[in-house]
Amino acid sequence: MSSIRFKNVTKSFGAKEVIRDIDIAVADGEFLVLLGPSGCGKSTLLRMLAGLESISGGEIVVGERRVDQLPPGQRDMAFVFQSYALYPHLSVRRNMTFPLLMQQFQWWYHLPLVGRMARNRIEKRPDVVTKIEKTARILALTEMLDRFPRTLSGGQRQRVALGRAMVREPQVFLMDEPLSNLDAKLRTSMRSEITALHREIGGTFVYVTHDQVEAMTMGTRIALMRDGVIQQFGTAREIYTDPANTYVARFIGTPPMNLIHASLSGDRASFGSSQLRLPQTYTTRAEVLLGIRPNAISIGQKEGAVPGRVVIVEHIGAESVIGVRLDEARTAHEADQSMDAVMVTVPGYTELAVGDAAYLSFDPAQAVLFSSTSGERLRP
Amino acid sequence: MTASPISHTLRPLAVLALLGIAAFPIYWMVVTSMTPSSELFAERPNLLPSLGQISIYGEVFRTIPVARWLWNSFVVAAGTTVFSILLAILPAYALSRFRFTGIAILGFALFATQMLPEAMLVVPLYSIFGKLSLLNSLFGLILANTAFVVPVITWIIKGAIDGIPLEVEEAARMDGCSRIDIVLAIVLPLIAPTLAAAAVISFFHGWNEYVFAQTLISSEQLRTASVGLASFVGELSTPIHAVMAVGVMYTLPAVIFYLFAQRYVVAGMTAGSVKG
């Protein structure tokens, strides 16, 4: 059993609180992604789980066991580092054997001659050799077992790091941005390899990334963090379709969710002379932010829809992104230094050009509302 | 950068000139050791060694306890090397990896020991060693030398440990290593070239050291080569070719040790970066 539970975990460096009151739980076998911009505390949280960083308050429980006071080696977790952190002086085989060797290490193995012999014996034991070779086969490293890390490419090193984690068969795999040093193409293929690995070998994975695509595609659960606080914790779908606040709405999605200043009254959100009839009736009457994904908007040149003018057109092959500045309403995009324009995605190429008049129709079923003051989600 | 033809020709010449300046005294030492006393002050100096005079070396060995001196020097140099490196590794690791109050003062204090000349320390050291019955013992001499070498190589080793990525150590911690396991199984192999360099420094310090060896050792039996060599300078006469012959013998082991260690130093420099 390797469920993970953070109970009110906090971390401070001096007076600065970098992790605030994290309280989440994931079940055995889940793939938890800690997502957020750099400096949000996601790596620190992972390192606290690993034991590389102490915790200032709260508890961490893995399975039935409280682990937050144990040294890293006793937590039964493997860590894959962004920089791979292979042992440069050991061959790939020895890198992968090292964790197994350490499991039965005696102090006298450090002695020059006798120790070397004892270590060699463990490294040559049939069960150890079988395990290493099986792991190497899964990761396509068989040819490289006797090479040294410095002769390997980035992707190969990353696989060695994964192999070193796998041979221990730990309860929990921890990965700190393991793909960010790879080029885009390799990243995509390693992404599916890690997902496949999770399916095959089971165990609970905790994965840190700032890349929303990695988070959405790999995670069974995502914890989106900002300034040491979890903004939302849920599945990729929940986070995408049902964002808890404007930060989540703007962090996820390319382009992110549009936020338009509107005033709410009952089931109507109005901005300028336009009105959008919402599926539910809200009890509050207030200034709100109307959130709508770029793909829930259709664009045309017919009168009667929300008028605006095209300010940007980007063709990305399969789809085009069109930015439209509304004639009678403003967006709340300046808050994150984005352009005051409603982004719309349409399939294929578009004939629209910058300066053209455009008319937008919103799909009310996919619209969500946020408080314009706190940014929190409004619910009916 | 493209070298102009002039600098292309001049550079090797400059290198040769510098090499000559550095190597000539040694060559002159070899030549002089094989020159009969009668020709030493000849008007035209003999630039080539008279190979017929090589027997001088056998004679020196028979009449002077050179072998004993060299052995003593070797014991002192090797002992200094072993003790210094063993004693320097853990403080170097601590200086590199731990943050504690007073780390700056400690680091400075290590350097400060280097500011005091040996000659100033030799008198208090003599009285302390006298009380500890360490006078007239090679072990005592090794301790005195070690005290001088440890601060220097601690800093050198610290520099090398600084170059090891922290993640490598963290990976080892995840794999179940204790701190001491990390130092022995991960850090030491990675800084092997630096350890070789540190060994060269401590060995030469022990081999060349004179002031302590002269003061702390009085027994003829325990005399080191540096002191022995100086003892030739007699009141009435100095047998120059014998001095030079002993000098050659004194230099050779050091050169051999350096060539041996240098392989590792250079291997470390060319083996590529430590980074995983």
- Judge whether A111 is closer than 8 Å to chain B, CB to CB: no
Confidence of residue B259 (pLDDT cuts 50, 70, 90): confident
Partner residue facing B174 (CB), from A50, A83, A157: A50
Reported as a single tens digit per residue, the pLDDT across A264-301 is 988 888 888 888 888 888 887 788 999 999 999 998 77
Rounded Cα distance, B141 and B218, in Å = 12
Predicted confidence at residue A338, as pLDDT, reads 84
Reported as a single tens digit per residue, the pLDDT across B176-205 is 999 999 999 999 999 988 898 899 889 999
**Chain A contact probe: residue of B82, B99, B174 with most A CBs at under 10 A:** B174
C-beta atoms of B176 and A87 within 8 A = no
CB-side neighbour CA atoms (13 Å) of A104: 13
Torsion angle, alpha carbons of A151, A155, A158, A160, to 10: -50
- Residue B204 CB coordination number (10 Å): 18
Residues near B74 by beta carbon (within 8 Å), at least 6 away in sequence = B207, B253
- Judge whether A51 is closer than 8 Å to chain B, CB to CB: yes
DSSP H or E stretch at residue B232: none
The closest of A248, A223, A213, A182 to A5, measured between CA atoms, is: A223
Confidence of residue B235 (pLDDT cuts 50, 70, 90): low
Cβ contacts of B190 on chain A, cutoff 8 Å: 88-89
Torsion angle, alpha carbons of A177, A182, A184, A187, to 10: -60
Predicted confidence at residue A249, as pLDDT, reads 94
Confidence of residue A94 (pLDDT cuts 50, 70, 90): very high
Reported as a single tens digit per residue, the pLDDT across B57-76 is 888 888 888 889 999 999 99
Token digits of residue B261: 């260690």
| pLDDT > 70 in chain B, percent | 93
**Chain B contact probe: residue of A96, A102, A208 with most B CBs at under 10 A:** A102
Rounded Cα distance, A224 and A217, in Å = 14
Q: Is the pLDDT of residue B169 over 60?
A: yes
Candidates 1.10.1040.10, 3.40.50.300, 3.40.1080.10, 1.10.3720.10; CATH matching B65-270: 1.10.3720.10
Rounded Cα distance, B160 and B186, in Å = 13
Q: Which residues of B22-49 are buried (b: 16+ CB within 10 A; e: fewer)?
A: eeeeeeebebbbbbeeeeeeeeeeeeee
Burial of A342: CB neighbours in 10 Å, binned 0-12, 13-18, 19+: buried
Confidence of residue B272 (pLDDT cuts 50, 70, 90): very low
Of the ranges A221-230, B47-56, B256-265, the best mean pLDDT one = A221-230
| pLDDT > 90 in chain A, percent | 66
Confidence of residue B110 (pLDDT cuts 50, 70, 90): confident
Q: Which domains does chain A have, with CATH numbers?
A: 4-241 (3.40.50.300), 257-378 (2.40.50.140)
Confidence of residue B47 (pLDDT cuts 50, 70, 90): confident
- Judge whether A88 is closer than 8 Å to chain B, CB to CB: yes
Predicted confidence at residue B271, as pLDDT, reads 45
Predicted confidence at residue B2, as pLDDT, reads 59
Predicted confidence at residue B66, as pLDDT, reads 87
Burial of A301: CB neighbours in 10 Å, binned 0-12, 13-18, 19+: exposed
Rounded Cα distance, A33 and A175, in Å = 9
